[in-house]
Structure 1
Amino acid sequence: MLELLKSSVLIVLGVVPLSILLGTMAGFAIGHLRVIGGRVVFLLFVLGLTLPFEGIITPLYYQIRDMGLLNTRWAIILPLIGLFMPFSVFWMRAHFVNMPGELSESARMDGANLWQLFRRIHLPLAMPAISSLGILLFLWTWNQFLLAIVLVDDPAKRTMSGALGAFQGQWGTDIPLLCAGSLLILAPTLAIFLIFQRHFVKALLQGSLKG
């Protein structure tokens, strides 16, 4: 069980931070900077939200095989980063598009460049949205099942949810044993949500109240 926990933690650490970074930077560019062609790019990301994992699992398997990453944790990490990008960009754009332009104008008048504008002004204000996005990505990554069982044969390199399928096949259908494993998988997700629930609710209500 400790090996499964370690594997899940490594996969989460590989997926969540990079997904948040890329999604935040892309959301800032599309939502606040209004870059040329940003609306078209955003529509492509929205289209990606309609793409189910099941619909691309077969070509994804052959692509990962050709890259030589089958039966490694990278076979789960890299596809999840790509599959989470549409929602990450959509979520962060919704925050940055509501930021007043006066903030950026004031910062530029004080001599801030684009990177300083993003890092010192908008990034701190986006922490509720970033925290809630991190919670969602953590939950989805921790509970990832399909990619784990298709792309990784070694249960010790899967997520805990994916390893539970092999655990059931190896030891039969002992219901109390499977329930115990399910509770162990559920415990970290419940703890994370309880700890950061205020950030999650704050992000959902952001912009809904005036004054």
Structure 2
Amino acid sequence: MITSRARRANSTLMLLMMMALTIVPLVSMFVTALHAPGSRPSGLAWPEDLHWGNFPLAWDQANVEVLLKSSALIILGVVPVSLMICTMAGFGLGHLKLPGGGALYVLILLGLAIPFESTVIPLYYQMQSLDLLNTRLAIVLPLIGLYVPFGVFWMRGHFANMPQALTDAARVDGAGGWRLFWHVHLPLAMPALTTLGLLQFINAWNQFLLAVVLVDDPTKRTMAGALGAFQGERSTDIVLLCAGALLIMTPTVIVFLILQRYFVRALLAGAVKG
């Protein structure tokens, strides 16, 4: 029989291996970004001369400042609207038990079975018919639709586990549907809502395919679209590409560090009863 000490040792070893698999690629990118521009570094070879200027060079070459503003506008258009739709739909389907809600929920879940890549060509022609190509709305509207199925699934799971006694007590006090949602259940849903917002923020920030296919103007794309600035006709500057990728990752890391307690709290919700 495996002792508790051996079980803890196995768990620690597994966590260390997973941490190494996560950290090593980031370290490799960081080391590569410190080499001379245009060079071809191999593995984790540390450069003789550290080229810290690669980061401001990548910032200027990729026009990161403009794309930072563009990404912020896209995030502000996607995340709040998507969260509002997912939260209200999740509350209605998970707690209010609306008539026909089961069939509607299954229909929404079918969106999770559709591969994202298979929607790009239909979305292109749809945006073209709406005369929205080469605009930020061509990114915002599809992303809202793509994020709704998982968002509804996530929020419905939260509201379905909320005690019915809360709703009954609020009903006795005269609370209607809107007051019940806004003043009773929404404050309790903040960990789940914050986690969903964080996931949607990361996905929208790193969106590359839709930004490249639906928008020709590089200044209207997401930050991930800046990576194409380091690709020439015959070659790609690997060093500046790594420096630019690290710059693009920085905002998502900062946001995650700020909201990590909500993320952990939402993931652990329901793990401990009572």
In which range does the TM-score fall when normalised by the shorter chain? over 0.9
Change (3 A) 1:199 1:24: same
Change (3 A) 1:86 1:169: farther
- The answer to whether residue 254 in structure 2 is matched with residue 191 in structure 1 is yes
- How big is the shift at 1:186? 0.5
Any idea what the Cα deviations from partners look like across 1:124-174, whole Å, max 9, x if unmatched? 000000000000000000000110010000111000112322442479511
- The answer to whether residue 190 in structure 2 is matched with residue 127 in structure 1 is yes
Change (3 A) 1:149 1:207: same
1:49 maps to 112
Letter of the structure 1 residue corresponding to residue 124 of structure 2: Y
Answer whether contact 2:230 2:240 (CA < 8 A) is retained: no
Provide the C-alpha distance between the structure 1 equivalents of 2:257 and 2:234, rounded to a whole number of angstroms. Answer: 33
1:103 maps to 166
2:130 maps to 67
Question: What runs of 5+ residues in structure 2 fail to find an aligned partner?
Answer: 1-63
Provide the C-alpha distance between the structure 2 equivalents of 1:171 and 1:127, rounded to a whole number of angstroms. Answer: 49
Any idea what the Cα deviations from partners look like across 1:39-85, whole Å, max 9, x if unmatched? 11111111111112211111110000010100000000000000100
1:151 maps to 214
1:174 maps to 237
Q: Which runs of 4+ in 1 moved over 3 A?
A: 169-172
Provide the C-alpha distance between the structure 2 equivalents of 1:171 and 1:161, rounded to a whole number of angstroms. Answer: 21
Change (3 A) 1:170 1:114: farther
Change (3 A) 1:74 1:18: same
Letter of the structure 1 residue corresponding to residue 173 of structure 2: D
Q: TM-score scaled to structure 1, two decimals?
A: 0.97
* Cα root mean square deviation, aligned: 1.2
What is the SS of the residue equivalent to 2:79? Answer: helix
2:271 maps to 208
Any idea what the Cα deviations from partners look like across 1:173-209, whole Å, max 9, x if unmatched? 1111111110111001111111111100100111110
Provide the C-alpha distance between the structure 2 equivalents of 1:201 and 1:42, rounded to a whole number of angstroms. Answer: 26
2:148 maps to 85
Question: What runs of 5+ residues in structure 1 fail to find an aligned partner?
Answer: none
Which one is further off, 81-90 or 42-51? Answer: 42-51
Letter of the structure 2 residue corresponding to residue 131 of structure 1: T
1:94 maps to 157
Letter of the structure 1 residue corresponding to residue 186 of structure 2: L
Q: TM-score scaled to structure 2, two decimals?
A: 0.75
Letter of the structure 2 residue corresponding to residue 103 of structure 1: L
Provide the C-alpha distance between the structure 1 equivalents of 2:87 and 2:256, rounded to a whole number of angstroms. Answer: 21
- The structure that has the greater radius of gyration is 2
Provide the C-alpha distance between the structure 1 equivalents of 2:132 and 2:85, rounded to a whole number of angstroms. Answer: 22
Report sequence identity in percent: 63
Provide the C-alpha distance between the structure 1 equivalents of 2:238 and 2:124, rounded to a whole number of angstroms. Answer: 32
Letter of the structure 2 residue corresponding to residue 134 of structure 1: G
Letter of the structure 1 residue corresponding to residue 82 of structure 2: S
